[in-house]
Amino acid sequence: MSLRLARLFTATLIGLSASATLFAADTALVWRGDITTARGVVIDVAKAWEKSGKGKFELQPFNTASGIDAVVKGTADIAGSARPAVGAAEQSLTFTPVAWDALVMVTYPSNPVSNITLKQLHEIYMGHITNWKDLGGADQPINLYAVASPADGVEYSMRRLLFGRGNQPVAAPRLYVNVAKLEEGVTLDKQGLGATTLAGVASNKKVKILQIDGVTPSASTVASGAYVLYSEIYLVTNDTNPKAAEIKEFLAFVTSSTGSSLLRSHSLVPYADGASLAAGDAARRATIASTVGTRANVGQAMTTAPTVAAAAPAEAAKEVAVAKAETKGKGGKAAKEAKASVAAAAAEPSQFAKVVASVSTSAHMGFSGVRSEAFTASDNAKAGGKFAKVLADAVVVKGKLAAKPAAPIDSSEKSTKIATPKVTEAKPAPAAKPEAKAAVAKAASKPAAAASHTYKVSAGDTLYSIAKKNAVDVNQLRAMNGLKDNNVHAGQVLKVSAR
């Protein structure tokens, strides 16, 4: 072989080798997603994947929405998410659960508060509890932190458990781009409080993890279900991706014995080890809803929630009434009367007979033909909350009904047409005497003192607490003052009445 041919042959081999290297780099799996999944699942598993010679892995940790969006567009092969699919665009993707993680509340290490209840946590997010002294701590405002993106996995999953929906607005004016930045904020703020995951902060001595209802979050308390604020961790893929075979192999590697061992080292519970968690999910959500006084979760759940038998309380009441009648020696006639009385009570139309919404209430009422949201804070007769023909969200504040814009109605659901029962009305007052009428007319003719329709924000106030103090809907308060978010500052003067 001539020297020239040898050089050409060598150059060709070098070129082919370089092309092969580039090709290998081009076929590396690209992962993008939330910091939570990166720290707990992907980083160590990706290193083990590369070390075993299975291929290259490129990591782009940022947040949930960016990762899922990248998989939809094809700029990433796998995304990480601490929440299930949300919205139509994500339904075309495959969300594969790979682990269980604890959703935890973190604060400053020297904070004397070590435990809060589910109810207290719910009230903090609602802006009803704003001072650490109400939790047994110092007389200092609670600086609640949250991630700015409404679709963030941790925030969405936490709110879905506490409020029944992941997009619930909360009183958290301090917002961060992801949980890593949120955790950094808490390490610098002695009054700070924020949600993250156990996998991310289990070994972080710069933050303090709070107990919930006396239970410390850990892999063992999650696995047993004792710690109720747990959530699935997903890897998100697109079945139309050209690298589908390699992606499938990586998912199998994550759930292999090697992958599962790495998950456990980060205080995660491998998904296969949590079969009882999935099976008991509906009961867990119902328990949380009952504890915090809100509605049970709507939308996608880990398992299909069983239908709750609404007639159960009526049946129990019937049995008690019949038993009492029989034991008093009144015989079959009394028993029949008791049965008829209970049956009539059970058949009484719902107070929410024509509500085209879903309803949350702390009062003991039935719900019929409900679509969208209505909420009443106390007994219907006392607060005047008659939701007879509500076609939208509604809130009762001190007996005043404030309707919100109507939500889209699912045509697949049909409302049951039942007459709304009458609420007991007070008897009309006797007619006033002529001299009393004259006195009233004279008083009415005097100009009323100008009422104050503004409110000056004090330290520790939130938009939600201000709305509550002034009996105004928070959305109306935001609109009246041209606010784009829930942020307020001390000394700010807000309009609290449109009049």
Round to whole Å and give the CA distance between 428 and 309: 41
- Residue corresponding to tokens 């209970």: 342
With bands split at pLDDT 50, 70 and 90, how would you rate the model's confidence at 283? Answer: very high
pLDDT at 458: 82
**Mean per-residue pLDDT, 151-159:** 88
Q: CB-based contacts of 58: which residues, under 8 Å, 6+ apart? A: 28, 29, 30, 31
120-143 tens-digit pLDDT: 999 999 999 999 999 999 999 999
pLDDT at 218: 96
With bands split at pLDDT 50, 70 and 90, how would you rate the model's confidence at 48? Answer: very high
pLDDT at 474: 72
Average pLDDT across the chain, whole number: 72
Round to whole Å and give the CA distance between 302 and 282: 8
- Residue corresponding to tokens 């398992």: 303
190-209 tens-digit pLDDT: 999 999 999 999 989 999 99
SS3 127: coil
- pLDDT value at 334 more than 60: no
pLDDT at 65: 85
Token output for 144: 């609640």
**Mean per-residue pLDDT, 355-373:** 39
| Radius of gyration of the chain measured on its C-alpha atoms | 30
Q: Which domains does the chain have, with CATH numbers?
A: 100-232 (3.40.190.10), 312-346 (no CATH), 432-499 (3.10.350.10)
Round to whole Å and give the CA distance between 191 and 335: 61
Least confident of 59-63, 157-161, 450-454: 450-454
Round to whole Å and give the CA distance between 74 and 91: 15
Reported residue count of the chain is 499
With bands split at pLDDT 50, 70 and 90, how would you rate the model's confidence at 499? Answer: low
- pLDDT value at 385 more than 80: no
| DSSP 8-state symbol, 41 | I
392-409 tens-digit pLDDT: 443 333 444 444 444 443
Query: Do 463 and 483 meet the contact criterion of CB atoms below 8 Å apart?
Result: yes
Round to whole Å and give the CA distance between 381 and 106: 41
Q: CB-based contacts of 3: which residues, under 8 Å, 6+ apart? A: none
**Mean per-residue pLDDT, 366-390:** 40
**Mean per-residue pLDDT, 75-101:** 91
